Amino acid sequence: MASSPTFSKVSLLLLVSLSFSYATSGFNHEHAYPPQSQAEMLTRNLNLFPKDPVNIIKGDFDSFVPGKIVEKKFSLLGHSGPSIQHLGHHAGHYSLPHSKAARMFYFFFESRNNKDDPVVIWLTGGPGCGSELALFYENGPFHIANNLSLTWNDYGWDQASNILFVDQPTGTGFSYSSDDSDIRHDEASISNDLYDFLQEFFKAHPKFVKNDFYITGESYAGHYIPALASRIIQGNKENQGIYINLKGLAIGNGATNPAIQYQAYPDFALDNKIITKANYDEINKLIPDCEQAAKTCETQGGQSCAIAFNTCQKIFYHILDFAPGINYYDIRKKCKGDWCYDFRNVETLLNLPKVKSVIGVSNDLQYVSCSKRVHEAMMQDYMRNMEVEIPSLLEDGIKLLVYVGEEDLICNWLGNSRWVHAMKWSGKKAFGKSPTVKFVVDGSKAGSLNSYGPLSFLKVHEAGHLVPMDQPKAALQMLQSWMAGKLT
């Protein structure tokens, strides 16, 4: 039996005069990218350098109570801001019952407008990156100023929802364990952890049980989201606990069906003049091996999936060889200096002792922005096709929105469009024939949309991999319209 949540009230005035001396990193594209460098590429290009590769705290077993939530109400805005009670901001750790000693960290922000708004969970990808990257740079309530003070995000998704940001899998962000065996390797264990968390979360916050529920996220969350949705539907149908009122899932610039998406890389790169026709012809010679390796992964699993990943990644790496310095999250940009984005303030802010205190995090726990260890542990999961989970969800009336910034290379719109159109479900033909209509924001075209029944595909203009960061107003309107059934 889980114990009752523990609540306390704390506020913090962040010092606006705090300064930070920036260190530069040296990273350049090379002609060979061994698999173990994948995580380093991810963190360095985001200018993230976590002190630890994973959150493992040895010997912390005594206080572990499976199924327990310990949560705090907090404010990071200081005494001049709204009261803690008015804000409805929460942070907590949940002790995962199917683990030796793993705690899942989360933030929960109640809607700024109406507590009857849907509950939305956001999952950041990587795999292995903390949800705070989205919280502070994309669609959370705040942005971090250069002096580490916080400012309101006018287009935070808490304007239209009660939103959860979760650090997962174990070892990511402020989620941690005392046992190495708690590091996850597959979607089954990850989705079970998230389902267990949601059950206890709704027990702790019963007034939100009746609200509509949506699963959202980006990048590698294209794996997490379908797996969690399927787990929730299973739990609902088998009466395993609290009924979660799942209405839809939204995948942003996702990695969902790798076999199809890898094959789209050369076409996207050529169409956007990233590579030449001669480069294209050379890279295309790698596709048959990738296609066969992906099929072997689906039938055999295990190590064959790691082999498939290494085989297919050659396609992507060859494109980078022909386009050195490109920001593969946004092809309009070159990487600035030694990094592609500057997200280092999130690590600095969250590792401040005063900030840890206000959100209930032990001072000896380091914030791991992107965990190399978690990333590498998921090696055999990369090539699994998670699109296979979706058709049954659509047939059950669960909505799917796939939205993609058109300037992203790594999870580009073309590859996403191809797997969405190839997906076998009862509405496949009708969706394929659906007219492409304008997605309009403030009277201007902000994207192009195809929809039929529960399925929508939105290509967002002037956006890269991080749509809510690049086009915050469009992203918020997208969410509002889609949840209201008006994204047509």
Secondary structure (DSSP) of 416-448? HHHHHHH--STTHHHHHTPPPEEEEETTEEEEE
Mean local confidence (pLDDT), 257-264: 97
Cβ-in-10-Å burial (0-12, 13-18, 19+) of 113 comes to exposed
Please tell me which residue, 229 or 55, carries the higher pLDDT value.
Answer: 229
Q: Phi first, then psi: give them for residue 195, nearest 5 degrees.
A: -65, -45
pLDDT at 7: 32
Mean local confidence (pLDDT), 337-364: 88
Residue pLDDT, tens place only, 178-198? 888 888 889 999 999 999 999
> With contact defined as beta carbons under 8 Å apart, do 206 and 198 qualify?
no
Does the pLDDT of residue 1 top 50, yes or no? no
Where does the pLDDT of residue 155 fall: very low under 50, low under 70, confident under 90, or very high at 90 and above? very high
**pTM, full prediction:** 0.89
Instruction: List the single range of 30-44, 147-161, 446-460 with lowest mean pLDDT.
Output: 30-44
Please tell me which residue, 54 or 474, carries the higher pLDDT value.
Answer: 474
Note if 29 is an active site residue.
Answer: no
Does the pLDDT of residue 20 top 60, yes or no? no
Cis before residue 127, ω within 30 degrees of 0?
yes
Note if 219 is an active site residue.
Answer: yes
Q: Are strands 444-452 and 437-441 parallel, antiparallel or unpaired?
A: antiparallel
CA nearest 29: which of 316, 309, 273, 308? 316
User: Can you tell me which residue has the tokens 């206080």?
Assistant: 63
Give the integer Cα–Cα distance in Å for 86 and 449.
Answer: 37
Does the pLDDT of residue 40 top 70, yes or no? no
Mean local confidence (pLDDT), 347-364: 93
Where does the pLDDT of residue 30 fall: very low under 50, low under 70, confident under 90, or very high at 90 and above? very low
DSSP 36: G
Does the pLDDT of residue 36 top 80, yes or no? no
Where does the pLDDT of residue 85 fall: very low under 50, low under 70, confident under 90, or very high at 90 and above? low
pLDDT at 75: 84
Burial 435-451 (b: 16+ CB within 10 A, else e): eeeebebeeeebbbbbb
Q: Give the alpha-carbon dihedral of 194, 196, 197, 201, to 10 degrees.
A: 140
What is the enclosing helix (H) or strand (E) of 215?
Answer: strand 213-218
Please tell me which residue, 400 or 100, carries the higher pLDDT value.
Answer: 400
Query: Quick one: what percent of the chain has pLDDT higher than 70?
Result: 85
CA nearest 456: which of 214, 248, 221? 248
pLDDT at 35: 42
Cα end-to-end distance, the chain, whole Å: 45
Please tell me which residue, 64 or 224, carries the higher pLDDT value.
Answer: 224
Give the integer Cα–Cα distance in Å for 146 and 273.
Answer: 35
pLDDT at 296: 96
Q: What is the DSSP string of 286-318?
A: THHHHHHHHHHHHHH-THHHHHHHHHHHHHHHH
pLDDT at 87: 75
Q: Which residues pair with 142 in a beta bridge?
A: 152
Q: Phi first, then psi: give them for residue 405, nearest 5 degrees.
A: -70, 130
Q: Say how many C-beta atoms besides its own lie within 10 A of residue 21's C-beta.
A: 4
Burial 182-206 (b: 16+ CB within 10 A, else e): bbbebbebbbbbbbbbbbbbbbbbe
Is the alpha carbon torsion for 339, 343, 349, 350 positive or negative? negative
**Dihedral class, residue 406 (left if φ above 0, else alpha if ψ from -120 to 50, else beta):** alpha
Where does the pLDDT of residue 56 fall: very low under 50, low under 70, confident under 90, or very high at 90 and above? low
Q: Give the alpha-carbon dihedral of 380, 94, 198, 77, to 10 degrees.
A: -110
Q: Give the alpha-carbon dihedral of 459, 461, 463, 464, to 10 degrees.
A: 50
Note if 19 is an active site residue.
Answer: no
Give the integer Cα–Cα distance in Å for 433 and 451.
Answer: 10
Structure tokens at 357: 């205190």
pLDDT at 115: 93
CA nearest 177: which of 96, 103, 106? 103
Give the integer Cα–Cα distance in Å for 448 and 445.
Answer: 8
pLDDT at 481: 97
pLDDT at 31: 39
Q: Of the residues 99, 149, 161, 219, which is catalytic?
A: 219
Which parts of 56-186 fold into alpha helices (H)? 84-87, 132-134
User: Can you tell me which residue has the tokens 């967002």?
Assistant: 460
Q: Of the residues 193, 465, 470, 481, which is catalytic?
A: 465
pLDDT at 182: 80
pLDDT at 62: 57
Helix axes 258-271, 287-300, angle to 10 degrees: 160
CATH code linked to domain 9-258+337-483? 3.40.50.1820
Does the pLDDT of residue 22 top 90, yes or no? no
Does the pLDDT of residue 173 top 70, yes or no? yes
Q: What is the DSSP string of 330-341?
A: -TTSB-BTTBS-
Q: Say how many C-beta atoms besides its own lie within 10 A of residue 59's C-beta.
A: 7
Please tell me which residue, 18 or 292, carries the higher pLDDT value.
Answer: 292
Q: Say how many C-beta atoms besides its own lie within 10 A of residue 10's C-beta.
A: 16
Query: Quick one: what percent of the chain has pLDDT higher than 90?
Result: 71
Give the integer Cα–Cα distance in Å for 180 and 57.
Answer: 9
